[in-house]
Amino acid sequence: MSIFNSHKEYGLLAKLFHWITFIVLIIQIPFGFYLVGLEFSDRRIDLENIHILIGITIFYITLFRLIWKFFNPSATDGNSFFKGQIFIAKANHFLLYLCIFTITISGVLKKLYMGERLNFLFFEYGFNQDNFLLADTFYEVHIYTNYLLIALVTLHIFAVIIHHVVFKDKILNKIT
Ligand code: HEM
Ligand code: HEM
């Protein structure tokens, strides 16, 4: 299997990016909701740091994934069963990427506006001042974009099922 995409099938690297992101997100989203319910403690701080580390890693993975996508064709062959279908698929994919960036960046900005320093894996950074109003705003963005992501992923999986059951086109083979 080639590491590059073709018009028929995603390459090894795109497949790895897709499934690593999937596995990490199905852990990270419930992990985030679990975190909010915890009382303030050392354990909570440790878990929050893990949540942040995973989130920043997803940000980098998605950034590399988009750079890779830019140099590769999308496997869109054989997807057109009705007019506008490719547009809907592309819009869904675009919004999925947008949500991942919005969630990770709003999470980062929430912490930075709390006046905290963050470890960005390759460097550390902090604003050295706080603004709790902005911190709250970015946290709201963090929460609502998570709801949007859940809706989009549900739609995405629903589309794959429709492809299998109605169009019978084995779309999953392109990414597995
Ligand atoms: C967190 C969950 C998921 C996210 C964020 C996600 C995201 C994406 C994105 C962004 C693409 C477009 C790739 C590109 O061309 O850039 C894609 C393609 C695809 N995904 Fe997912 N995905 C998720 C889960 C799943 C699951 C569970 C399945 C299988 C049931 C699946 C099946 C597919 C298929 C078949 C394609 C190719 C679609 C096409 O070529 O039109 N995805 N996914
Ligand atoms: C794709 C990656 C991420 C996902 C899916 C995610 C998901 C979530 C979810 C679902 C919550 C619970 C929201 C609520 O109901 O109140 C949450 C909370 C939180 N997230 Fe994220 N998050 C991600 C990345 C990040 C990043 C990069 C940061 C910071 C650098 C971050 C910081 C936080 C903080 C501080 C909380 C709240 C803890 C609290 O104050 O109770 N998240 N996250």
Tokens 């470890």 found at: 119
Whether residue 142 contacts residue 82, with contact meaning beta carbons closer than 8 Å, is answered with no
Give the tens place of pLDDT for each residue, 82-138. Answer: 788 888 999 999 999 999 999 999 999 999 999 999 999 999 999 999 999 999 999
* pTM across the whole model: 0.95
- For residue 156, the CA-to-ligand 1 centroid distance in Å is 7
Higher pLDDT, 168 or 76: 168
Give residue 77's pLDDT: 73
Number of domains comprising the chain: 1
User: Is 151 part of a structural domain of the chain?
Assistant: yes
Q: Which numbered ligand comes closest to the C-alpha of 26?
A: 1
Which residue out of 51, 125, 144, 148 has the highest number of ligand 2 atoms within 8 Å of its CB and is therefore the one to mutate? 51
User: Is 104 part of a structural domain of the chain?
Assistant: yes
CATH of the domain at 70: 1.20.950
User: Is 79 part of a structural domain of the chain?
Assistant: yes
User: Is 2 part of a structural domain of the chain?
Assistant: no
Give residue 79's pLDDT: 62
Give residue 78's pLDDT: 65
Domain that holds residue 168: 12-174
- For residue 32, the CA-to-ligand 2 centroid distance in Å is 5
Mean pLDDT check: name the lowest of 15-29, 40-54, 131-145, 154-168. Answer: 154-168
Burial of 161 (0-12, 13-18, 19+ CB in 10 A): exposed
